[in-house]
Amino acid sequence: MPRRRNNVALAIVLVVFAFCARYASAVGSTPHSTFSYKEGDPTGPEKWATLQKDWAICDSGTKQSPIDVAKVEVSKDLGPLEQNYKAGAAVVQNRGHDFMLNWTGGNGDLTIEGKKYTLLQVHWHAPSEHTVNGTRFDAEMHMVHEDSTKSKAVVAVLFSTKAGKPSKLLGDLKPYFERLAGKQNATEEVKGTVDPTAWIDNASGYYRYEGSFTTPPCTEGVLWSIMSKVADASKDEIDSIDRVKKSSVEPNARPAQTINSRVVRYYKAGATEGSAPAPAPAPGPT
């Protein structure tokens, strides 16, 4: 009987590991040991394009992310994001440069401009990678989606500690972040199920533009939707995101990239169409 139990436990571990590896590959994840976020470092953001041949677009690309959202075109044509998420069993993984949450079962999808995108995984950056009118926030959550053609769409949620209020989402995950700190590639199953339905507030509106992954290989063609409502979080919750390496707080945010000729569109029900400065993000819980 003990041997059988051990075999079952090993099988579960292998399934979870394979699942995490599958989704890490699907979204272009790269081992942290090969790049860093330290400016001036030989493996820092300004050197990413030189580290591997297929990373050249990190420097030569014209549609790189993140960006500073400063001017927008208000567009009623975009419409609200259509959620069809559902609760499911999930796993948290320390990827060496961030914490990632993905589902081991079905977790639903999101319809964007008529296309259905399945939610693959969620991960966090601290401080935020995107800025609005030059303002950087305390953290940023990326909800990574993929459609039937493997095209990617990311919904970003910004977090701020200014109000001093905790986040239910981050509060629930904080114990997992703390236990996995410093344990690269380690995973832990989340107790119960995780439901992403409440993580996106359509009433707040969003900024939309075409960009890239914010980590190597910096693949372009990613459709970004940055929610304009800023979520609350406590300092302890943000610090838990930062402590991927456990020994110290280490930022994992790529600097803002040149926007070039791209247009950032903004949608919010009732907004007047036309060019305008980016509306200041509104506070709100998540």
Task: Output phi, psi for 34, to 5 deg.
Answer: -95, -5
Q: What is the pLDDT of residues 128-156, one digit of tens each?
A: 999 999 999 999 999 999 999 999 999 99
pLDDT value of residue 24:
45
- Residue 161's contacts (CB-CB under 8 Å, 6 or more residues apart) are 138, 232, 233, 234, 235, 238
Q: What is the pLDDT of residues 41-87, one digit of tens each?
A: 999 999 999 999 999 999 999 999 999 999 999 998 899 999 999 99
130 part of the active site: no
Set 32, 97, 123, 130: catalytic member: 97
Q: Looking at this protein, which amino acid is placed at residue 276?
A: A
d(CA 219, CA 58): 8
Contact call for residues 215 and 35 (beta carbons, < 8 A): yes
Q: What is the pLDDT of residues 184-228, one digit of tens each?
A: 999 999 999 999 999 998 788 999 999 999 999 999 999 999 999
**Cis peptide bond prior to 2, omega within 30° of 0:** no
pLDDT value of residue 178:
95
Q: Is 60 exposed, middle or buried (0-12, 13-18, 19+ CB in 10 A)?
A: exposed
pLDDT averaged over every residue in the chain: 88
21-25, 94-98, 173-177, 260-264: least confidently modelled range: 21-25
Contact call for residues 151 and 211 (beta carbons, < 8 A): no
Q: How confident is the model at residue 30 (pLDDT cuts 50, 70, 90)?
A: low
d(CA 25, CA 41): 26
d(CA 130, CA 117): 22
pLDDT > 70 in the chain, percent: 84
CATH class of 2-284: alpha beta
pLDDT value of residue 203:
82
